[in-house]
Structure 1
Amino acid sequence: MLLLAGLAAEAAPPEPANLHLASVNAAVALAGNDELLYDKNADRVVPIASVTKLMTALVVLRSGQPLDEWLTFLPRHREAPNNAYTRIRQGSELRRRDIIRIALMSSENFAAYTLARHFPGGYDGFVASMNATARELGMTSTTFVDPTGLSPLNRATAADLVRLVNAALEYPEIGEFSTTGYFTARFRKPRYDLAYGNTNVLVHRDSWGVGLSKTGYLSEAGRCLVMVSGMADQQVVTVLLDSFGTRSPLGDAGRVKRWLTTGSSGQVAGAAKAYEQRRNAAYASSADVEHAAVN
């Protein structure tokens, strides 16, 4: 990564004004470097939906808990903040490594919840560890209240998420699990299988060389995509938050890649621009309300 950063330093980066994205908030950086090549509202604190699960996986792996241990899917001890549909049967068991895998690649919420329930200190201890890890990484504008991302109160900035991604890159398992294309989870007690697919279609395209991936969606957060991929012969962190439509993050990823390669990204659709205007107005209104409450 240091070599890549050195190579990048030899050439002037593309002009940021030539990158146009549909995502309302975004950040682009070289992998292993927290300095941003591109910043679009990158310091705005916003809901991050299931991008949260990157921190969930990081906390588990940093704890050193055995990945081959079988964990039981316990009934929820509190109601989920949003719809938490799952095909997993309560009381069944799966190895911790496979629970992390389906939480990352397929955004399985019950899997992320289960990882927290089996953490030293329990669920509340896990959430506390998520926030402590964020502070340790310098994610000064980040707050977590649950391990799944179902709560819109899980909030961060695009710049903070670059720091999270770079920390996650230190654990090869996160890259492997999050970019698994398809996986069959084999449960026991009772024995049954469930097939999972990756929520990011770009992991199936060799030309992208995706090394880490996480998608997310809540109505409050919009469509989100955090990814490390090969662009212009470099490994690049792309953080896209609050995108318009299911295909918008993918289109934005393509625009970032084109910008790094040619210096120009092309334009975004009018509908996406209108969405951005509405969302920026909503963020401004929310900020005014919060400011008034403080004062």
Structure 2
Amino acid sequence: MLHAVVAGALVVAVGHGVAAAAPVATAPHGQLPWLTSEPEGVQAPGAALADGIAGTMLWSREANTPVPIASIAKVMTALVVITSGDLERPVTVPAEAIAYCVRFDGSTAGLSAGEAMSTREMLYAMMLPSGCDAAYTLADAYGPGVDGFIGRMNDTAHLMGLGATQFTDPSGLPTPDDYSTYSTPADLVALGLRAMSLPAFREVAGAQSYHLPAGPAHRDHVWRTTNQLLRDYPGTIGIKTGSTDAAGSCLLFETVRAGIPVIGVVLHSGPWSGAAARDDARRMLDWAYNPILAALPIH
């Protein structure tokens, strides 16, 4: 039994030595030797759990059903910005970024019009507190223009083979309507794998907080992550929360325990509470990891 469990763990950890951007392949439930049932108590109607190397699906629910994804859209925004290069490039917050947050009641990083900081710092402002003001600023700077940037987001999704994914806003806000930005659990696992393959993204997405001291062109800022799993679940290394009326509470997450990376997503775990998404993710991760950790001679 021990050999079967360890062998199964190794299948996940090293059995598919392909690039992190590889398409997600769905494996029959129970194919891996320690998976004998599905995780219990998961509330999300859309969810997926996969190994964090090749994206082989371990368990899913409505994996190919498109639904709103709220601020998980910021993962694609960060991916497009980071792959553009020059993360030390200065960017300035336009007045429209502030008006945009007010108009759509978006979460903010507390930025002010005219503040300037590096792209890298702006990524922390976008990813940790889920700053829609920062997302708008980056999209406006790297588009060029927000509409141009949204086109780049969709082009990237197309190139990645994310055929059931569409972006109409760099933050995932409900514009022009609640359902215009959407994706599927399977597509989001693939997006998460690609983003987490980038060291700059991993650094930002895995941070619990970031302090930007006051400088000549910006105020003092302290940003804290909205991802409760980073604080509460051992081995969590990212990546992004999301929440709107239509999307409910969402979480795209990755963990590494006993050297085994696992990536997953839950969509609409509850109406708003980030704790609901965290708890769904915890149930899924415990289901995958606990039999392995119990069998391995490590504590």
What range describes the TM-score normalised by the shorter chain of this pair? 0.7 to 0.9
Q: Which amino acid aligns with 2:104?
A: N
Q: CA RMSD in A?
A: 2.7
Alignment correspondent of 1:268: none
> In the TM superposition, what whole-angstrom CA distance separates every residue of 1:70-107 from its partner, at most 9, and x where no partner exists?
11101217845621354211011111101011211221
Query: How far apart are residue 149 of structure 1 and its match?
Result: 1.0
Among 142, 149, 152, the alignment partner of 1:119 is 142
Among 93, 97, 100, the alignment partner of 1:73 is 93
TM-score norm. by structure 1 comes to 0.81
Alignment correspondent of 1:230: 256
Contact 1:212–1:227 (8 Å) recurs in 2: yes
C-alpha spacing 1:210/1:191, structure 2 compared with 1 (3 Å): same
Alignment correspondent of 2:63: 42
C-alpha spacing 1:2/1:258, structure 2 compared with 1 (3 Å): closer
TM-score norm. by structure 2 comes to 0.80
Alignment correspondent of 2:106: 84
* Unaligned runs of at least 5 residues, structure 2: 1-9, 18-26, 292-299
Alignment correspondent of 1:15: 36
SS at match of 1:208: coil
C-alpha spacing 1:142/1:247, structure 2 compared with 1 (3 Å): same
Q: Which amino acid aligns with 2:169?
A: D
Contact 2:49–2:262 (8 Å) recurs in 1: yes
* C-alpha distance in 2 between matches for 1:262 and 1:203: 18
* C-alpha distance in 1 between matches for 2:39 and 2:173: 34
In the alignment, structure 1 residue 199 sits paired with structure 2 residue 226: yes
Alignment correspondent of 2:197: 170
Contact 1:5–1:30 (8 Å) recurs in 2: no
Contact 2:45–2:62 (8 Å) recurs in 1: yes
Alignment correspondent of 1:185: 212
Q: Which amino acid aligns with 2:64?
A: D
Contact 2:39–2:283 (8 Å) recurs in 1: no
In the alignment, structure 1 residue 251 sits paired with structure 2 residue 272: no
Alignment correspondent of 2:15: 6
* C-alpha distance in 2 between matches for 1:107 and 1:221: 15
In the alignment, structure 1 residue 160 sits paired with structure 2 residue 187: yes
Q: Which amino acid aligns with 2:281?
A: A
Query: How far apart are residue 241 of structure 1 and its match?
Result: 0.6
* C-alpha distance in 2 between matches for 1:182 and 1:6: 34
Alignment correspondent of 1:218: 244
